[in-house]
Every structure is written in C-alpha cells, then in structure tokens.
Amino acid sequence: MGRGGRTKDRSDGPERKCIATGEVHPKYGLIRFVVGPDNQVVPDILGKLPGRGIYVSAERAALEKAGKKGAFARAAKQQVLVPDGLADEVESQIARRVVELISLARKSGAAVAGYEKVKDWLSKEYAEVLIQASDGSGRGKSKLSTPHFGSYIGWLTTEELGAAFGRQTVIHSALASGGLTQRVVEEAQRLKGVRKNTAAGAARKEQKAT
C-alpha cells in the first residue's frame, strides 16, 4: 500500500461461510469461534485458538441470530453453550484489538493524534486514514477531510482513541501507509459491523476509493 494509495485489495483471500446467513465472505470480514473444552462457544478474534473454526459475519444481527437459532450447535455438530451477551463480548474484544493496533502504529511512528498534527499530515498527503472519535465535537471534526483514496474511521470513542495514544481522550488521529494500517482498517470495519451504537454520521462521512 503506497503513500496516498488505496488499501490493498484482499478480496481474493481465503473465504468462509457464515453459519447465520449462509453467505460466503473473506475470512477477515468474519468472526471466528471455537468450542472450548467446556462446550462453550468462544470468540477467537485473532484466529489462533485450536479447534475447528466456526464463522459468523462481522455484523451484530448475524451474531445475535447465530446465538438464538441454534446455528452454533448445528455447525459444531454437538450441543454447545452460547454465553449471554456474546455479541457485546465480541464488540469489546475487537475494540481492544483496534486500540492495540493503533498503539503499535503510534510506537512505530505511523500514527499521530491531535488536530494540528493530523491537519499537517493531511496537508502533506502523508495520512492514509483519518480517525475521529464518535463522541467528539462535530464542528471540529468537519474541518478535516478523509484522505483522497484513503479511509475514514469514526466509530471509536474518545476514551478508546485516548488509550491508543496513552492519553485520557483523543478526538483526531491519522495513520500513515504501512504494514499495520490495513490491519487497523480491517479490524475497524469488523468493529463497525458489530458495534451496537455506531455513530450514524460515520457511515455518511466515510469516503473510500471507488
């Protein structure tokens, strides 16, 4: 992914079928689950837990449907325990993963926070992704635009962004192109799908290359 370029297309990667919708999607757009030793369904956000993978689309409606309609038991071919609040737990784990990735990008020099720094990166066409807190001031956020051929993330909270930068709160941040940036965008897209209170304006502002 070059400077100012689009996020690398991974549509030709491995695909799996969602047990709730029956639709086939790239693996990075799904949530993997495994059945633990106690027969409880466990989300595997990193995709590394041992066991046969069970996949659900990264959408809250699909997660809730899978938990209520016995889809996990059918996929596992055994009786399983689906914990209460499974969709909320998935949301929480993915949010933590996004924060961790942004923090790693910051430590490598590929992420900045603060209105002036973000504005500077945007003006120099160094920013690949604009990230703005869902609960930040709309007036302030409207003064910054998504990078051309870049991506917009607008459904993290000020506290979540703050955690990524070692601060109490952050409203504006940006990512440069690099190895972690695509992973941040992909995980953020999964979070957007499962987040209960995704900001309504985020989807309207998101501007991706077509």
Q: pLDDT tens-digit profile of 106-158? A: 999 999 999 999 999 999 999 999 999 999 988 889 999 999 989 999 999 99
Q: Do residues 136 and 52 both lie within one domain?
A: no
47 and 139 share one domain: no
Same domain, 35 and 103: no
DSSP H or E run through 90: helix 86-107
Evaluate whether residue 1 is within a structural domain: no
Structural domain includes residue 8: no
Residue 107's H or E segment, with its range, is helix 86-107
pLDDT digits (tens, 9 = 90+) for 74-83: 999 999 999 9
Q: Which domain does 54 fall in, by range?
A: 15-84
Task: Assess contact for 113 and 165: CB atoms under 8 A.
Answer: yes
**Best CA proximity match to 71, nearest among 18, 35, 28:** 18
* φ, ψ of residue 32 in degrees (nearest 5): -90, 140
Q: Are residues 24 and 108 in the same domain?
A: no
Structural contact between residues 121 and 174, judged by C-beta atoms closer than 8 angstroms: yes
The answer on 108 and 181 residing in a single domain is yes
Instruction: Give me the numbers of helices (H) and strands (E) for the chain, helices first please.
Output: 8, 9
What's the pLDDT score for residue 198?
Answer: 59
CATH number where 120 lies:
3.30.1330.30
pLDDT of residue 74: 95
Query: What's the length of the chain?
Result: 210
Using alpha carbons, select from 97, 61, 55 the residue that is nearest to residue 76: 55
Pick the last residue of a domain from 35, 55, 84. 84
Residue position matching structure tokens 């603060």: 114
Q: Given 24, 55, 84, which residue is the final one in a domain?
A: 84
Of 84, 105, 129, the residue at which a domain comes to its end is: 84
d(CA 199, CA 185): 17
| Residues 164, 94 share a domain | yes
- The pLDDT score that the predictor gives to residue 139 is 85
**Domain identity same for 44 and 77:** yes
Give me the percent of the chain exceeding a pLDDT of 90. 80
Q: Tell whether 55 and 132 lie within a shared domain.
A: no
Question: How many folded domains does the chain comprise?
Answer: 2
- Same domain for 132 and 62: no
Q: What is the DSSP string of 108-138?
A: TT-EEESHHHHHHHHHTT-EEEEEE-TTS-H
In a shared domain, residues 127 and 199:
yes
* Residue 140 domain-assigned (yes or no): yes
Beta bridge partners of 111: 175
Residues 120 and 194 in one domain: yes
Is residue 67 within 8 A of residue 86, CB to CB? The reply is: yes
Is this prediction's pTM over 0.75?
yes
